[in-house]
Amino acid sequence: MRKIHTIIICLLAWGLSTQAQENKNIATLMAQLPAQDFHQLDVTMAKVATWGEEDLIALAHLLKPMNTGENAVVEYALSGLSAYVGVPGRDDLRKRVALAYAKSLQKSTDKDAQSFILSQLQGIAQDDVVAYVAPFLSDNQLADPASRVLVAVGGDLAKKILREALSDAKQHNLIFIVQALGYLKDNKAVKAIMPYVNNKNENVRKATYFALAAIADPQSKDVLTKIADESNYRFDTSHAFGAYLNYIKNLSKKDQKLAEQLASDLMRKTDSHEMQARIAALTLVVDLQGEKSLPLLETAFNGPNKTYRIAALRLATSYMNAHHVDFWVKLLKNSQSELQIEMLKVMATTDMPAALPAIKELMNSSDIDVKEAAIRAAGRLGGEALLSDFLAILKKGEAKEIAAVKHALLTMRSKKVNMALQEALPTLPWASKATVLSVLKSVEEKESAQVYAVKEFDAEAEKKDGFHVLFDGTDMDQWQGNTRDYTIEYGEMVINPSKGSGGNLYTKEEFSDFTFRFEFKLSPGANNGLGIRTPLTGNAAYEGIEIQIIDNDAEKYKYLKPYQYHGSLYGIMAAKKGFLNPVGMWNYQEVQVKGDHIKVILNGNVILDGSIADAKANGTLDSKEHPGLFRTSGHIAFLGHGDQVYFRNMRVKRL
């Protein structure tokens, strides 16, 4: 590190010697960068933030044309400074730095440098710099970043300047100005924007559709309805139909009655059109009408098109709860087999014990696939109360039924179940005996693995190897953040979200390269995350790196992307699937982080082993910005997503 540090200083001395020598503040700053850690960066930026305006402008003027490749450290300094003054409570510092950045724009002639300064203003600008940014709305290269600054500032002044820029804007710049007015939802701009729906430039038309849909003024109704009609209600490159759907959805916040009328008209118009548009229209109506749309959905369940029926069911699952049990029981009894199967899959993930009698009836269905789905759902909802029913199936059932019973039994871990299975074993046919023995063996192996994990944690050898206990079941002294919802119960850390996502829990210390070992137990459909190298603010999945902790076998997660499976680096790298223990059983996990290399071991199986270097260089799997990839240190964190999860035996070793 010291060698690299020396090289950077030498390069700076060679490329910036004259300016640096003339300004002692800048020379001192450059000698301190890059900072050794984030604490040191904070200390350094606290000093820079108090500089006078001339020094701050001089720092910005160190930026050179992009093709020189000499801006890395200067951009690092400016980004660090912007982040520092952007923290709430530092408004005086923010104002000083933002004004210096804005004035540097006028003195600079390099487009790349100006573009970078504008990008920094996006995070710290307010009304006091709007006048300095306005002239760049007419610049072909800078209209985009300039309009983004004004969107970030918001407010009446920013809207007024964007409206004034419309009349003289060139085609290229017009795109960004119109989009900006859409983002700001400026009702006063609607009349000025509306004529651009007929502009000869396709991208201007798209920007206009977006802006009118985002603003959602009732006076745009006829114009947007017309372009949707002309698109034949198809999703295409014009974006017209998609914009119309967004318009109706946004309009509902201003005029619910008109929005529902347009949505109902759309349902009628798309009746004979392609199914994708029909489903989109149905989705819109359900979003607007809520549970009042259940009769409409019931009609859709009985429609002739399978894709449409399944889509309607997925929309209705938001209302699959105790308040609507009668509706679902009736529907379950009267639906076709394919819909019954889909309903049973979703019911298995809900809390509707009152539906259990109807589900049990379908365990005797003449359709073997319905039987299988009913057994699985009954096992989830009824648990041990279904034990006698399952034993009866083991004695006389078909292969698919027996396989479903096995799945149910694996979620019912108790002495009562084990004893009942052992007692029934001699009376079962050979195929079922093998199933029961497999269940008993699986339970025994999991229990043994858990005992081994606890013993391994207590072993003196691990302590001598450098592992430090982060949670031993007695206190939360080494953690900060949401200690309200993350609590201790019977020696285990439990997240019991009271509201919202449950928030995040962070270690008090930061870690760079380390091995982290812990155990966790999921509730049905649970979702959490393990943050590594995370900051205390921002979205940890992007500002840091999030390793998924999730019951990815739950029905509601059937459409997850591979990079969202348990153990995956969220949005970045996919883990192998299939190594989680059944819900309600403990899992043992180890995470190794060294430089760009990350390895995840789950229950003794390596499910992820790779480098983030490729993602840093070539982009991520989800095609989103993940600045956390470039962090070299941060907190270990548990990232709540509103579900109950248990943790224990946490220890870490610095590498």
Sketch out the chain's domains with CATH numbers: 2-216 (1.25.10), 320-446 (1.25.10.10), 462-654 (2.60.120.560)
| % of the chain residues with pLDDT over 70 | 92
Please write the tens of the pLDDT for every residue from 457-507.
554 667 778 888 898 777 788 998 888 788 887 678 888 765 445 678 999
Instruction: Name the pLDDT band for 71 (thresholds 50, 70, 90).
Output: confident
Query: With 80 as the cut, is the pLDDT of residue 9 above it?
Result: no
Residue type, 233: Y
Instruction: Name the pLDDT band for 603 (thresholds 50, 70, 90).
Output: confident
Cis peptide preceding 34, ω within 30 of 0: yes
Give CA–CA dist 140/144, Å, rounded.
8
Instruction: Name the pLDDT band for 578 (thresholds 50, 70, 90).
Output: confident
CB 436 within 8 A of CB 428: yes
Please write the tens of the pLDDT for every residue from 138-164.
999 999 999 999 999 999 999 999 999
Please write the tens of the pLDDT for every residue from 551-568.
988 888 888 888 899 999
The long-range contacts involving 158-161, CB below 8 angstroms and separated by at least 24 positions, are: 158/127, 158/130, 158/184, 159/184, 159/186, 159/188, 159/189, 161/130, 161/134, 161/137
Looking at residues 174-195, what average pLDDT do you find?
Answer: 95
Looking at residues 33-42, what average pLDDT do you find?
Answer: 81
Looking at residues 636-650, what average pLDDT do you find?
Answer: 89
Kindly give the residue spans of alpha helices, DSSP state H, lying in 383-530.
Answer: 387-396, 399-409, 415-424, 430-458, 460-464
Looking at residues 222-238, what average pLDDT do you find?
Answer: 90
Query: With 90 as the cut, is the pLDDT of residue 444 above it?
Result: no
Of 318, 320, 324, 232, whose CA–CA distance to 278 is shortest? 232
pTM given for the model: 0.59
Instruction: Name the pLDDT band for 11 (thresholds 50, 70, 90).
Output: very low
Instruction: Name the pLDDT band for 225 (thresholds 50, 70, 90).
Output: very high
pLDDT of residue 586: 87
Please write the tens of the pLDDT for every residue from 306-359.
888 888 888 887 787 778 888 888 888 888 888 888 888 888 877 788 889 999
pLDDT of residue 497: 67
- Supply the mean pLDDT for the chain: 85
pLDDT of residue 626: 87
pLDDT of residue 616: 78
pLDDT of residue 17: 43
Least confident of 108-117, 300-309, 557-566: 300-309
Query: With 50 as the cut, is the pLDDT of residue 10 above it?
Result: no
Strand pairing category for 504-507 and 492-495: unpaired
**Strand, helix or coil for residue 537:** coil
Query: With 90 as the cut, is the pLDDT of residue 184 above it?
Result: yes
Q: Dihedral angle at the C-alpha atoms of 74, 75, 79, 82, nearest 10 degrees?
A: 60
Give CA–CA dist 477/261, Å, rounded.
57
Least confident of 79-88, 206-215, 252-261, 551-560: 551-560
pLDDT of residue 311: 85
| Residue 649 φ then ψ, to 5° | 50, 60
pLDDT of residue 20: 42
Instruction: Name the pLDDT band for 451 (thresholds 50, 70, 90).
Output: very low
pLDDT of residue 474: 73
CB 604 within 8 A of CB 450: no
**Strand, helix or coil for residue 350:** coil
pLDDT of residue 488: 82
Least confident of 184-193, 260-269, 509-518: 260-269
